[in-house]
């Protein structure tokens, strides 16, 4: 399937170049065609995401109601999705479909300035006064060898358009001098500004949405990577980045105006529903925390009472033992005293008998 996509995109680029024989314009038009094809998928993905957010409070209720029965929860969730005609993966699937398209588009454009296999080796030999019969210059990848685009680049060392060599990167142009690099740096600056503004558009319409630190970091890393690749890649790839980023800015403007344009819009209502679901989740979490703290306090109190009862029983037992010892001692003393008293008159009685 990927081979077919490579062939389709390269054939489309060749067809555009045969009509408009300008490298920069051909790449720009190919990027626009790809964006036109993928825009409906982007809009569908956004609408599906908004619908899922709008129904989030009801989904949370179902999750709370059937939290102890996973099978029943799955059945109720599927029934809920069918009733509301939504697809739980509808927000991700269109984006996943777009990723290979743009990846292949990137590699097809980059492959236009692919160096011949032995080109660098021949350049070294030529520098030493030798000129072996080895192909050098460009050997474009993915293109039909009979196409005008392929034959216009084969063996060439420059890919000129509007006086700019699209075969070198801004970093390479900067090594040749600031004046040479100026057009490349200007294009790079425009890409950076557009990428930054696109993120501002997304952040600006999410006033009712809590954005995590991880999401903020991803929004910063994405444009940074795009600028980095544009800086180290051939300027032909920069044309792709420039056109695609410009298109996405216009696309985000349309989404903001149509889906988030007012308090009654679907997007704003979905954000409010998400905020309500988050507040309910926090409230439930606080309630569960208080219940756990109360239960832990009750357990500590019971343990303390049990410990106190054991200590009291031990104290009472000690007092009882001491009392028993005292009573036993008293009885012994009484017995001894009684025995002493009962035994003392006997000698006197014997003396009386003798006197009688």
Q: Which pLDDT tens digit goes with each residue over 298-325?
A: 666 655 665 655 555 555 554 544 445 4
Question: What phi and psi values does residue 16 have, to the nearest 5 degrees?
Answer: -65, -40
Contact assessment for residue 231 and residue 285, using Cβ atoms and an 8 Å cutoff = no
Average pLDDT, the chain: 79
Residues 6+ apart with CB under 8 A from 141: 108, 111, 112, 114
Share of the chain above pLDDT 90, in %: 35
pLDDT 10s per residue in the chain (356 long)? 677 889 999 999 999 999 999 999 999 999 999 999 999 989 988 888 888 888 888 888 888 888 888 899 888 889 988 888 887 777 677 677 788 888 999 999 999 999 876 555 555 555 555 555 455 689 899 999 999 999 999 989 899 999 999 999 999 999 999 999 999 999 999 999 999 999 888 887 776 566 667 777 877 788 888 899 999 999 999 999 999 999 999 999 999 999 888 778 888 888 788 777 777 777 776 766 676 777 666 666 655 665 655 555 555 554 544 445 454 444 444 444 444 444 444 445 444 444 43
Distance CA 310, CA 330 (A): 30
Domain locations in the chain as residue ranges? 2-116+135-272
Distance CA 298, CA 321 (A): 34
Q: Residue for token digits 């017995």?
A: 335
Contact assessment for residue 50 and residue 270, using Cβ atoms and an 8 Å cutoff = yes
229: nearest Cα among 245, 211, 209, 246: 245
> What are the beta bridge partners of residue 154?
138
Q: How many CB atoms lie within 10 A of CB 254?
A: 11
């Amino acid at each position: 399937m990927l081979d077919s996509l490579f062939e389709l995109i390269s054939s489309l680029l060749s067809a555009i170049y045969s009509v408009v024989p300008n490298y920069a314009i051909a790449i720009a038009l190919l990027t626009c065609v790809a964006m036109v094809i993928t825009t409906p998928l982007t809009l569908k993905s956004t609408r599906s995401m908004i619908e899922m957010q709008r129904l989030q409070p009801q989904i949370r209720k179902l999750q709370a109601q059937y939290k102890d029965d996973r099978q029943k929860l799955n059945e109720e969730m599927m029934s809920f999705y069918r009733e509301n005609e939504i697809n739980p993966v509808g927000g991700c699937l269109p984006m996943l479909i777009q990723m290979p398209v743009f990846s292949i588009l990137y590699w097809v454009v980059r492959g236009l300035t692919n160096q011949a296999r032995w080109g660098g080796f021949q350049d070294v030999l030529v520098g030493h006064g030798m000129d072996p019969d080895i192909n050098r210059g460009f050997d474009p990848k993915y293109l039909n060898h009979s196409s005008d685009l392929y034959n216009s680049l084969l063996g060439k060392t420059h890919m000129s358009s509007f006086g700019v060599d699209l075969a070198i990167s801004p970093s390479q142009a900067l090594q040749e001098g600031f004046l040479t690099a100026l057009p490349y740096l200007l294009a790079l600056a425009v890409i950076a500004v557009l990428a930054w503004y696109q993120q501002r558009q997304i952040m600006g319409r999410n006033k009712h949405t809590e954005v995590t630190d991880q999401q903020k970091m991803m929004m910063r890393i994405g444009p940074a990577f795009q600028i980095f690749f544009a800086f180290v890649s051939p300027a032909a790839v920069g044309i792709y980045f420039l056109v695609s980023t410009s298109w996405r800015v216009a696309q985000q403007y349309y989404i903001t105006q149509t889906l988030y344009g007012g308090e009654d819009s679907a997007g704003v209502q979905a954000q409010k529903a998400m905020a309500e679901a988050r507040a309910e989740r926090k409230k439930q979490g606080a309630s569960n925390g208080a219940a756990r703290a109360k239960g832990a306090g009750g357990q500590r109190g019971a343990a303390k009472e049990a410990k106190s009862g054991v200590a009291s029983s031990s104290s009472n037992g000690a007092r009882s033992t001491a009392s028993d010892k005292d009573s036993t001692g008293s009885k012994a003393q009484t017995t001894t005293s009684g025995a002493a008293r009962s035994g003392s008159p006997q000698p006197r009685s014997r003396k009386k008998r003798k006197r009688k």
